[in-house]
């Protein structure tokens, strides 16, 4: 699994289209010809990626929102972000 450093800046990939439908965020990648549906925590993460944010700041926000430990949050978040990056949905600096 990809390792994210606390200072890594995360943001949405610019070429992804998104819309909101009935408590779900629908993403579409024209380049990949694929679409994705995000609900719950995944949707919350996507919303927070609208403005570039560091990995550690994202963990802090999610810990407060979902009342989980920073360790559990970081572990789950790394897996989700790695998948987003593989799909071309996430930009990492």
CA distances from 82 to 12, 19, 21, 52, 70 (A): 13, 22, 25, 16, 18
Q: What is the DSSP string of 13-72?
A: -TTEEEEEETTEEEEEETTTTEEEEE-HHHHHHHHHTTS-EEHHHHHHHHHHHHT--HHH
pLDDT in tens, the chain (93 residues): 789 999 999 999 999 999 999 999 999 998 889 999 999 999 999 999 999 999 999 999 999 999 999 999 999 999 999 999 999 999 999
The position carrying tokens 């919350």 is: 44
Please give the distance of CA 16 from its chain centroid, rounded to a whole number: 13
């Amino acid at each position: 699994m990809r390792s994210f450093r606390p200072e890594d800046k995360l943001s949405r990939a610019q070429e992804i289209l998104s819309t909101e439908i009935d408590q779900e965020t629908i993403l579409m990648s024209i380049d990949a010809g694929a679409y994705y549906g995000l609900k719950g925590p995944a949707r919350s993460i996507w919303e927070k990626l609208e403005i570039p944010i560091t990995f550690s700041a994202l963990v802090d926000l999610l810990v407060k929102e979902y009342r989980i430990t920073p360790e559990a949050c970081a572990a789950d978040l790394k897996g989700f972000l790695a998948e987003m990056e593989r799909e071309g949905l996430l930009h990492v600096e």
